[in-house]
Structure 1
């Protein structure tokens, strides 16, 4: 069973209709006009879908085109000798559905069930990531042109998934995260009494070069000493606060004087992390206290996240934080690796990474984890920059000192 999409060739300044060519059992081929339209300039004839599948309108169309493929495949396989009229009627029914109901026993049904079961205990960002995995599997099933059952997911299917992902130009890390989520779903299915091939599943091991962007101590000092325009002063102060508290923007931008407490004469801030729900009591660094003094012992006024991200780039540029770094930059609707000056890639999370990286090795790791709220050391170490220039220089200094001491003896 083969499905093929094409756009009507009628010359028009408006949208053209999409047609489906359904090749049923290599015997009968039907050409069916779909109740779906798109501008010719937005259509990719090679991929048989909208060119940019990330604009809102095109995303909806692409999702429906994918759904039609695997829903029709399931419908047709149970109806030998099916007519063109029956297929057209089923297409109309699928296109008119307001919600998506996955067939029981299908892998998409199992994914949807898992996400729904875990929804209440997930933070918003994790829930959204799971939904992205679900949408990717919808696209994959459209690529396969059939509905995928939970029991069918095996190593061969994973290889097909990677083939699809590379054609779509997803990064290897995105494919690996999705493949690991597939294993999670299969384990969930086994707990429901369904026999799967999760133990035989082979997920390619990706060797990634760990790249963590941080502001090193010298760069933080440069920012601190840099004079900035009045409209950037709050952003500069919040950036410094984030580098000395190690918190996410969802937490540090809510800091206020009502959260301050004293423990053994040390001024601390007590708050609950928005993402994890963990209660944190954090002693305030002298540099943070110095900034608060400018605001009468309080914190600067909060800044909108988008404004803050734009402003700290300007602050870092003024401070000369311009060493070349590799970064991913969106080109079209995919990220591409490119080289840019460091200030261009600074965002709100850099303070949290800088805190972890700059104090690692100087302060016991359990104390740092208590400050950042990380549950495991492995998670915490993801924030550590392995190419930390100051540590490399320190190692070189040790080499020189040992060599010179040996030469004198």
Structure 2
């Protein structure tokens, strides 16, 4: 057991990377080894567990979201009747920030009126938390179109298939970098964005699109996150709108200097 030291961990990481295992798989396995050594030390065996340092993941987590411009494209795209239900649910998920296990169970009986604002009250299935969420105008428009009801619930696999088709029809075809998991290994590749869309994109889009515009505690209250650290995992670190705004400022300042 004394052979398991910092050099062993370094060699183990090098081996895992050469075999194209994902960073998370390598780290998780190293943590298992550390747990076993901790237990062995409690039994009286000599180990180097106190000197073991598990490297932090170097690969930043990529969060795929739909920004406001893309959501507007989806809203304006006309789809066939068999895709309309999925389109409505996709928009509902992007403007409520809930998991599919929750938003697919939304119904009109959960609607309440608080000082003139239409809200939905429900218990999150995963956390058991009671959420009272004011509904975004886009969601209210969908309800109005459906005679003040939510769309019919859909099977998750069919929903995931349909929202990819909807994003494709909406022209959301830019290439994005992603890591595809193949068994315990992962490979970085570029694929068209619509191919990488799944049911969780609504929750991520809600968090990313409103982050910085609405106080974080209010957003966490809406999503049901207990800590800001976990909530921030849902934020897309690449803020294209912010990048464009900064670029516009650069051009404006440069143009002003040139005129002097």
1:294-336 deviation per Cα after TM superposition (whole angstroms, max 9, x unaligned): 1111110111111110110000000000011112335577432
Q: Of 219, 230, 233, which aligns to 2:70?
A: 219
Q: Distance in 1 between matches of 2:33 and 2:119?
A: 43
Instruction: Extract unaligned runs of 5+ from structure 2.
Output: none
Q: Deviations over 1:174-217 (max 9, x none)?
A: 21234345556766x49977776543221123322342111110
Tell me how large the CA RMSD over aligned residues is: 2.7
**TM-score normalized with structure 2 length:** 0.88
Q: Provide structure 1 residue ranges, at least 5 long, that are not aligned to the other structure.
A: 1-148
Asked if 1:317 is matched to 2:168, the reply is yes
Structure having the higher Rg: 1
CA contact (8 A) 2:64 2:201 kept: yes
Match of 2:80 in 1: 229
User: What CA distance in whole angstroms lies between the structure 2 residues aligned with 1:272 and 1:191?
Assistant: 44
**Equivalent residue for 1:340?**
191
TM-score, length-scaled by structure 1: 0.57
Separation (CA, whole Å) in 2 of partners of 1:163 and 1:279: 46
Pick aligned residue for 1:205 from 23, 46, 56: 56
Q: Residues 406 and 263 from structure 1, CA distance in 2 versus in 1: closer, same or farther, beyond 3 angstroms?
A: farther
Cα offsets for 1:223-262 (capped at 9, x unmatched): 0000011110011111111110111111111111121122
- Counterpart Cα distance in 2 of 1:280 and 1:194: 49
Q: Whole-Å Cα distance in 2 between the matches of residues 350 and 161 of structure 1?
A: 34
1:222-301 equivalence runs, <5 A: 222-301=73-152
Number of aligned residue pairs:
259
Distance 1:162 1:402, change over 3 A: same
- 1:177 partnered with 2:42: no
Kindly tell me: are residues 333 and 229 of structure 1, through their superposed partners in 2, closer, same or farther at Cα, counting changes over 3 Å? farther
Q: Contact 1:234/1:301 (CA < 8 Å) preserved in 2? A: yes
- Post-superposition offset of 1:372: 0.9
